[in-house]
């Protein structure tokens, strides 16, 4: 097979770039929130409206309990088949006061596009659509078959995805599967990621008195916030090392092949720190130990903590309830 001339392809993108940005802005303008069941019907319609003009046949697979459908698509032909995965749901936009522009406006500032979900996963999905459109317009028919799975519950853990895969396995057969997104290193080098950690997401709830009470009684009333703080402190030591009982017996260390691959990867520690506005890492990590830890170590992360008064000014109470949201990133042999 001869390699196509991509000059016309690049010209097509340059000529249509502004309209592509506007198309991304339109695609990002509608909230699609799986946890709140907001905008998901519109999300399905938007996905099908982008895929079908490419020549794709689409099927919106209904899920039990009114969960958002999974869109399956098929287009092109050839001796090889690539399966693409994406999702049309996004994270909620709160806290809204931290946005410099409305979360669904698609504002462009200093060459960057700002909208809730643009990096996870609307921009990634649309970039694939636009790449295929450009190829068909500038070069011709695709040289392979593409299959697509686009779900609407990724941000809540994909609770209904397993039966879809089991029931429609023949429609998902492929030589290779590409996950939702792609990224670049701090130095701007393109990355191909060949494995991801698993995730367990939990909420912990504690109760104290049956109503918020005066903090003058703070020495005798059980405080649910303190109860959670005390429990959370048992998961790690003061430097951030996990100390959960038995963790070492359920975690497989990286293999020699893993270590060899990691040693070959470029890593700019100072550029990585700059991404987060930091001058050091936790646990005293330095150099390539940072890269190895990020890839191979399990995590226990506090994603949110809510209890009592969070507004301006003083409110002297013992809160009635407390709640913490946590996610655990899982490595080989570690299960929820």
Query: Which run of H or of E encompasses 317?
Result: strand 317-318
In this predicted structure, what is the pLDDT of residue 117?
Answer: 94
Distance CA 148, CA 75 (A): 9
How far is residue 46's CA from residue 69's CA, in Å, rounded to a whole number? Answer: 13
What pLDDT shows up at residue 300? 94
Query: pLDDT by residue for the chain (336 residues), tens digit each?
Result: 577 789 999 999 999 999 999 999 999 999 999 989 999 999 999 999 999 999 999 999 998 888 899 999 999 999 999 999 999 999 999 989 999 999 999 999 999 999 999 999 999 999 999 999 999 999 999 999 999 999 999 998 899 999 999 999 999 999 999 988 777 777 788 888 888 899 899 999 999 999 999 999 999 999 999 999 999 999 999 889 999 888 889 899 999 999 999 999 889 999 999 989 999 999 999 999 999 999 999 999 999 999 999 888 899 999 999 999 999 999 999 988
The domain limits of the chain are 7-178, 198-330
pTM: 0.76
Name which of 114, 87, 78 is nearest 99 in CA terms.
114
Return the pLDDT at 66: 81
Distance CA 244, CA 117 (A): 34
Q: How far apart are CA 323 and CA 336, in angstroms?
A: 20
Q: Which CATH number fits domain 7-178: 3.40.50.9100, 3.30.540.10, 3.40.630.10, 3.30.70.330?
A: 3.40.630.10
Q: Residues 288, 292, 298, 303: is their CA dihedral positive or negative?
A: positive
Structurally, at CATH architecture level, domain 198-330 sits in 2-Layer Sandwich (3.30)
DSSP string, 59-88: EEE--GGGPPPEEEEEEE-SS-EEEEEEE-
């Amino acid at each position: 097979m001869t390699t196509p001339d991509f000059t016309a392809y690049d010209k097509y993108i340059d000529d249509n770039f502004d309209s592509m940005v506007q198309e991304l802005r339109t695609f990002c303008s509608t909230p699609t929130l799986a946890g709140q069941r907001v905008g998901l019907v519109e999300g399905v319609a938007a996905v099908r409206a982008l895929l079908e003009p490419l020549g794709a046949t689409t099927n919106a697979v209904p899920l039990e309990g009114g969960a958002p459908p999974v869109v399956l698509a098929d287009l092109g032909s050839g001796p090889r088949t690539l399966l693409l995965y994406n999702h049309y749901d996004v994270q909620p936009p709160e806290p809204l006061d931290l946005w410099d522009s409305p979360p669904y406006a698609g504002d462009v500032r200093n060459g960057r596009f700002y909208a809730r979900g643009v990096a996870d996963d609307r921009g990634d999905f649309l970039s694939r659509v636009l790449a295929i459109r450009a190829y068909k317009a500038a070069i011709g028919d695709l040289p392979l078959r593409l299959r697509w799975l686009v779900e609407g519950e990724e941000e809540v853990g994909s609770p209904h995805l397993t039966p879809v895969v089991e029931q429609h396995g023949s429609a998902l057969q492929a030589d290779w599967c590409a996950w939702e997104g792609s990224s670049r290193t701090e130095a701007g080098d393109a990355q191909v990621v060949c494995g991801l950690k698993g995730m367990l997401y939990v909420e912990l709830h504690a109760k104290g008195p049956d109503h918020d009470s005066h903090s003058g009684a703070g020495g005798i009333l059980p405080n649910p916030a303190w109860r959670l703080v005390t429990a959370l402190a048992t998961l790690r030591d003061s430097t951030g090392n996990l100390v959960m009982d038995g963790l070492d017996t359920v975690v497989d260390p990286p293999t020699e092949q893993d270590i060899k691959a990691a040693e070959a990867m470029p890593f700019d520690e100072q550029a990585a720190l700059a991404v987060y506005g930091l001058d050091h890492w936790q646990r005293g990590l330095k150099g390539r130990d940072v890269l190895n830890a990020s890839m191979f170590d399990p995590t226990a992360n506090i994603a949110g903590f809510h209890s009592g008064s969070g507004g301006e000014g003083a409110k002297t109470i013992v809160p009635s309830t407390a709640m913490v949201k946590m996610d655990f990133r899982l490595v080989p042999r570690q299960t929820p």
